[in-house]
Amino acid sequence: MPTQLLPKGFDRLHDPVLNKGTAFTEAERDLLGLRGFLPAQVHTIEEQLLRVREGLSRQPDDLQKWVFLNSLHDRNETLFFRLLMDSPEELMPLVYTPTVGRACQEYSHLFQQPRGLFISAHDKGRIAQILRNWPYPEVGVIVVTDGERILGLGDLGAGGMGIPVGKLSLYTACAGVVPVRTLPVTLDVGTDNPKLLEDRLYFGLRQKRIRGAEYDAFVDEFVAAANEVFPGVLIQFEDFGNTNAFRLLQRWRDRVCCFNDDIQGTAAVALAGIFSALRITGEKLRDQKVLCLGAGEAATGICDLIVASMTAAGLTGAEARKRCWLVDSRGLVVASRGDLAEHKKPYAHAHAPANFLGAIRELKPTILIGAAGQGGTFNREVLTTFAAQQERPIVFALSNPTSQSECTAEQAYGWTDGRAIFASGSPFPPVQCAGRTFVPGQANNSYVFPGVGLGAIASRARHITDEMFLATAHKLADLVTDEELASGRIYPKLSRIQEVSAEIAAAVCEVAFARGLSDKPRPQDLLAYVRGQMYRPFYD
């Protein structure tokens, strides 16, 4: 946009994309009509960061830190992302999990300024018009939720907007996706949460969720409108309930550029962790037996990608699936149960019914994965039983936020005498056990979805494929150093997240170009090309 058309004066200071606050130079203050709106001192961005860090440190708890950071995001986007990129290990848990879960629970009470688009069931027939209201026309990625299954917290309705906002902050902070190319969307189809329906301050539709054909038509209109207004946009489905998540992914994955992070992103980060763990044990994936506590989006997505990797290593599909088992709320998923949802059936094997502990004893799994959102379910008896069967028990407690984690890092190491190879969905501090200091790995989807998204945008991929997620898992595991493995980490340090995301984006681009999923000419140096697309938060 020509300089003369950009906002000036008071309006300039209230545009978070263009605002520099006290960093506007003397010449810029004259040119842009800012005299009088700012105090006399001109500060560098480094000096502004000192002020922001001081303010952040004064906040009494993590939720208030989340509010503080969102306020910064609303007034100065460059400064917000510079802060986040400089300190990812410290600040990502505040911007996203685990803090964002509590923020979503209280979103209506914390609401200060809109971010993203709220599209309600009452907007049927005019969704494209609403999308055109968005002020930035070059949107490359949309994260969309209907708020039905927010983390492990359930139906939070329109309060689920905190998830798309947080995810897209990580698209920029982790992978350098240009902020104005991102759009958070909440599809407000009502809520079945009685507490929200009774809350006078709840800001979403005060009605039960629409279902069935009406719901499908609404989502269909949204997907079609998004591709009409933003051609080729990547759509990330986020925190949809099981009843809709699998169906929507199957409906759209071969028609538009889309993926479901809860199904596919979680699978890639879990498989990468397994690859890293097997570097420690010296074993092969094809020889493992996986038992998942949970049989929803995350668990079945993980099993699907494990099966894809095992078949690539030479097993048949049937052999690979037989090495993956699920436990749901009724116990071990077995073939004799006649009321199974479609996504569970591939992993319903011939076996006698058993509870979770019985399944561990009878199946003797080598890998235990928690993805049911039930805190504390990996109790002492579970972990000691599992550890008695394995020299190096691989324990992934993936549910988040922290309150929903199947066990803590301290419990995982302590109850296995320090033999566990552990990863969790939420961060845990280092643990002293058996004369060693263990740094637990966080199976954080932010290792995966930002890089996948950047790769899709950079290559203009028409679709996101399972092969891309398999390539992502291999690349992520390969990037873990021997030093990190020795400390107990099975994922790279978050301080390396931009490097990791660039490598993953290049791997995704490689698949897109190799499989004819892009009409762009393939750059000679994919990694250099990807790095050249990444946003850097500095003032012009």
> Which residues are catalytic, by number?
96, 167
Task: Give how far Cα 288 sits from Cα of 284, 315, 466, Å.
Answer: 7, 12, 21
Neighbours of 499 (CB within 10 A): 12
Query: Could you give the residue ranges of the DSSP H alpha helices within 141-229?
Result: 162-175, 194-197, 212-229
Q: Which residues contact 395 (CB under 8 A, 6 or more apart)?
A: 368, 378, 383, 386, 407, 412, 416, 420, 421, 422, 423
The CB density around residue 536, as the number of other CB atoms within 10 Å, is 10
Q: Minimal CA–CA distance to 371: which of 416, 310, 329?
A: 329
Residue with tokens 């030479």: 314
Q: At what angle do helices 297-312 and 266-281 cross, to 10 degrees?
A: 50
Inter-residue contact 467 to 515 (CB < 8 Å): yes
Phi (first) and psi of residue 164, to 5 degrees: -60, -40
The neighbouring-strand residues paired with 471 are none
E-strand ranges in 203-272 read 234-237, 258-260
Say how far apart CA 109 and CA 103 lie, in whole Å.
Answer: 9
Query: In residues, how long is the chain?
Result: 540
- Structure letter (DSSP) for residue 287: G
Q: Where are the alpha helices (DSSP H) in 58-161?
A: 62-75, 77-86, 88-95, 99-105, 107-110, 127-132
- Is the peptide bond preceding residue 98 cis, with omega within 30 degrees of 0? yes
Hey, how many other C-beta atoms are within 10 angstroms of the C-beta on 355?
Answer: 12
Q: Which value, in Å, is the radius of gyration of the alpha carbons in the chain?
A: 23
- Do 449 and 467 contact (CB within 8 A), yes or no? no
Q: Which residues pair with 182 in a beta bridge?
A: 141
- Residue 345's H or E segment, with its range, is none
Tell me the backbone φ, ψ of residue 171, rounded to 5 degrees: -55, -40
